[in-house]
Amino acid sequence: MSRRPFVAGNWKMHKTAAEAADFVARLAAYVPASVDVAVCPPYTALAEAAGAATGLRIAVYAQNMHQAASGAFTGEVSTEMILDTGADGVLLGHSERRQLFGETDEAVNAKLAAAHDAGLWVIVAVGETEAEREAGETEDVLRRQVSVFDADEQLVVAYEPVWAIGTGKTATPELAQEAHAFIKSILDVPVLYGGSVKPDNAAELLGQPDVDGALVGGASLDVDSFVAICRAASR
């Protein structure tokens, strides 16, 4: 099915509230009309980013959330708190959450259900480690992660091979296409590619028939490089 390209920038632990608002305002002037764009600021900048994005063609997503509505979960944030900032959605299951903070598939699935119940748009990240790819387990990993999701108009999957996150390594366009086509054989939703996406490789990656956009890390911190990726998606 034909879909509008979607490019999301995951800022991780970067940018103050003022920097986030300034970035959104500058980004809005250059975003191609044919591309859907989102930014994922840290919690402390969500409200300012959402405020700056009001009336613009830029969505604002949190980087994580807790599945409970409230409770004794020090340091966590609920769906209601995210909505209270004016944000539109949430990024779930990023490989750094899974690897550094021990998030399991079950935890990601519980968060996804809570996010959908709250009406949040969701990008949920999936992908294999280098060891899993070398062992020929890529499809088994993706099937395990994706098969429990329900297709929903507010759900986007991001395929991010863990070995390409922040390493400078990037899946070849052919490997990306293969993984995206496999995910879509299980679940009919847009699938973004994430993993060291940069202006110089974006066009080839985003030109693959089953790559619907990109989840961008470091290159999303600079307006010019992020805009260049958005323009590549528009073509």
Segments making up each domain of the chain, as ranges: 6-234
Nearest CA-CA partner of 114 in 144, 158, 141, 77: 77
Catalytic choice (48, 94, 103, 180)? 94
- Is the model's pTM score more than 0.85? yes
- Residue 66, pLDDT score: 98
- Residue 2, pLDDT score: 52
- Residue 1, pLDDT score: 39
> Do 51 and 79 touch, CB atoms closer than 8 A?
no
Report the distance separating Cα 131 and Cα 129, nearest Å.
5
Residues (pLDDT < 50) of the chain are 1
Q: What are phi and psi of 5, to 5 degrees?
A: -60, 145
| 14 tagged catalytic | no
| 94 tagged catalytic | yes
- In words, the CATH class of domain 6-234 is alpha beta
Q: Hey, what are 149's tokens?
A: 């999701």
Catalytic choice (48, 96, 103, 160)? 160
